[in-house]
Amino acid sequence: MTQLLIRENRILSALLEVSKVLNSSFELEKNLSRTMNVLGDFLEMERGSVFLLDHFTKELRIVAAHGLTKEQIERGKYKIGEGIVGRVLKKGSPMVIPNVGEEPLFLNKTGSRISKNGISFLCVPVKFKGESIGVLSADRIFKDKAITVDEDIRVLEIVASIIAQYVILWKHYKESEKERENLKLELKGRYSLPNIIGSSDKMQQVFEAVHRVAHSKATVLLYGESGTGKELIAKAIHYMSPRTKLPFVKFNCASIPEGLLESELFGHERGAFTGAINARKGRFELANGGTILLDEVGDLPINLQPKILRVLQEREFERVGGEKTIKVDVRLIAATGRNLEELVSKGKFREDLYYRLNVVPIFMPSIRERKEDIPLLIEHFIKRFNEENMKDVFISPEALRLLVDYDWPGNVRELENTMERLVVMSVKNTISPSDLPINLKLLPPKEVLQKESLKAGIEDIEKSSIFDALEKTGWIQAKAARIIGLTPRQIGYKMKKYRIASPIGLQ
Ligand SMILES: Nc1ncnc2c1ncn2[C@@H]1O[C@H](COP(=O)(O)OP(=O)(O)O)[C@@H](O)[C@H]1O
Ligand SMILES: [Mg+2]
């Protein structure tokens, strides 16, 4: 009698433990394995396995087991109806093999039972709403005559029904997790352009605009600080447009002396001016059929603006010193880092031209406005410069932190150059904070100190406070030394040690 009570108690404890385990999380394999261990410990079952039906392969596969090795688990695969496990699934009712040694149906696929004699095999279906979704099996050595097979089957059936609920919940959870991820992907990476990095909302807006506008002939005006990728985007528009096989011509309005601008843009006839020995095509003619990028369009002299306006409106012009009207089919993209509206209000930029250019404005965000893209950009550049230099450099999390914290006044161009220098110059495989240029390390975050060696951390701080003090005092060493409590000799020594040099012109 007491024996029976103890046994009942154990069963209840086991069931309680199982439901606790399965309520803990959605880590399917881990929790089912723990469940099988509970059965092993509490109920003295030798081996236990949970098989689930894979709807794709139509196979039963062991998801979790107690008392089996990884290889044995791998081998445990059954078709529907195959062996005892396959039959239990197909029929949806339990089966007991009192002595597996005497049962030809018993396939022993896992190879876990060397001697099959004296072992009973119990197998119950895992069912949800009447449908079998898997099988729960256990081995038992019946030494104790008091325990009946029926009782064991009853316990296994209860456990199987808890497992069924859990598996169904897990499936729902996985599905909604997948949906959430798909949604995120759709929202995040909906637009992409080859080799242009940007998953921030601001860059996604840019990409979306590029996709929308590329196929049209509309004039695009790119606004943005230097180094934000205006030229890159202009090229993307061209290469995504039907003009892709025809020329992309870039022209920087600020880079050429005013007197030469007109002939550079529109070409000239022979003898148009001193030195014009031959006739020459201008950029608009060279870009015929394709796209022209007028960079720094805000620097276009006011006297040239009517001629640009005419190209935009009529698609025609005359070469310098020429009479013949030349017709071109050119798509115009303009870029500027200056505020054109302000130039208009100051009378430096024609209002009519401004409106003609501003058909589709695209605003390029600075890096400061899209810090979440910095790690992606860094990864992109490291990969590229590793390939170019046949290196295998990567960046430490501490250094990455500093790079993300930095303000990047030169935007992507500065980041790109910095990464190239770091990859090319690296002697180790890891870029760590001490490898970074001094202006990037002015305020090392605390974590860096903990993870890096203390000495390097202190040196970093020392280096940046010396740099800071020198900047503040206009690089007068004696003054800077006083601020940080060093003698002029000491600061001189430390500057040498850290290779801090006065900027050119202040020496
Ligand atoms: N989003 C980006 N992804 C990858 N590289 C970029 C990105 N934006 C800019 N770059 C790179 O940074 C540099 C500067 O870009 P650029 O288009 O010349 O800027 P801008 O014309 O605005 O001065 C170029 O080498 C460009 O390839
Ligand atoms: Mg540029």
Query: 2-176 adopts what CATH topology?
Result: Beta-Lactamase (3.30.450)
Report the run of H or E that residue 50 belongs to, with start and end.
Answer: strand 48-54
Model pLDDT, residue 456:
67
CA distance 155 to 14: 9
Nearest CA to ligand 1 atom 17: 229
Cβ neighbours of residue 406 under 8 Å, at least 6 residues apart? 439, 440
Percent of the chain at pLDDT exceeding 90: 56
**Bridge partners of residue 60, in order along the sequence:** 53, 78
The yes-or-no verdict on residue 446 having pLDDT over 50 is no
Cα torsion at 486, 492, 497, 502 (round to 10°)?
Answer: 120
Confidence of residue 335 (pLDDT cuts 50, 70, 90): very high
Task: Look at 108 and 37; give whichever has higher pLDDT.
Answer: 37
Model pLDDT, residue 448:
42
What value does the mean pLDDT take over residues 382-410? 93
For the CA of 295, the closest atom of ligand 1 is: 21
Q: Which range (273-282, 351-360, 405-414) has the least confidence? A: 273-282
For the CA of 224, the closest atom of ligand 1 is: 22
Task: Look at 223 and 78; give whichever has higher pLDDT.
Answer: 223
Q: Which ligand is nearest to the CA of 381?
A: 1
CA distance 35 to 166: 11
What value does the mean pLDDT take over residues 323-339? 96
Q: Which residues surround ligand 2, an ion (CB under 5 A)?
A: 231
List the chain domain ranges. 2-176, 201-365, 367-452, 453-507
The yes-or-no verdict on residue 289 having pLDDT over 60 is yes
Query: 453-507 adopts what CATH topology?
Result: Arc Repressor Mutant, subunit A (1.10.10)
Query: 201-365 adopts what CATH topology?
Result: Rossmann fold (3.40.50)
For the CA of 373, the closest atom of ligand 1 is: 1
Its pTM stands at 0.56
Q: Which ligand is nearest to the CA of 296?
A: 2
What value does the mean pLDDT take over residues 428-436? 91
The CB of 231 under 6 Å from ligand 1? The reply is: yes
Residue with tokens 């805000």: 298
The domain at 367-452 falls in which architecture?
Orthogonal Bundle (1.10)
CA distance 234 to 200: 19
The yes-or-no verdict on residue 451 having pLDDT over 60 is no
What value does the mean pLDDT take over residues 43-51? 84
Confidence of residue 455 (pLDDT cuts 50, 70, 90): low
Q: Which range (124-128, 184-188, 301-305) has the least confidence? A: 184-188
Model pLDDT, residue 392:
92
Task: Look at 264 and 46; give whichever has higher pLDDT.
Answer: 264
Confidence of residue 442 (pLDDT cuts 50, 70, 90): low
Nearest CA to ligand 1 atom 25: 413
What is the chain's mean pLDDT, rounded? 88
The CB of 337 under 6 Å from ligand 1? The reply is: no
pLDDT per residue as tens digits for the range 128-186: 999 999 999 998 876 666 567 788 899 999 999 999 999 999 988 888 888 777 666 55
The CB of 228 under 6 Å from ligand 1? The reply is: yes
Model pLDDT, residue 189:
52
For the CA of 380, the closest atom of ligand 1 is: 4
The CB of 315 under 6 Å from ligand 1? The reply is: no
CA distance 325 to 498: 64
The yes-or-no verdict on residue 11 having pLDDT over 50 is yes
Q: Which ligand is nearest to the CA of 222?
A: 1
Question: How far is the CA of 22 from the CAs of 79, 134, 274, in angstroms?
Answer: 27, 16, 90
Model pLDDT, residue 415:
97
The CB of 384 under 6 Å from ligand 1? The reply is: no
Task: Look at 143 and 239; give whichever has higher pLDDT.
Answer: 239
CA distance 498 to 507: 17
Give a three-class secondary structure readout of 237-287. HHHHCCCCCCCEEEEECCCCCHHHHHHHHHCECCCCCCCCCCCECCHHHHC
Give a three-class secondary structure readout of 424-466. HHCCCCEECHHHCCHHHCCCCCHHHHHHCCHHHHHHHHHHHHH
For the CA of 226, the closest atom of ligand 1 is: 23
**Bridge partners of residue 395, in order along the sequence:** 431
Model pLDDT, residue 450:
47
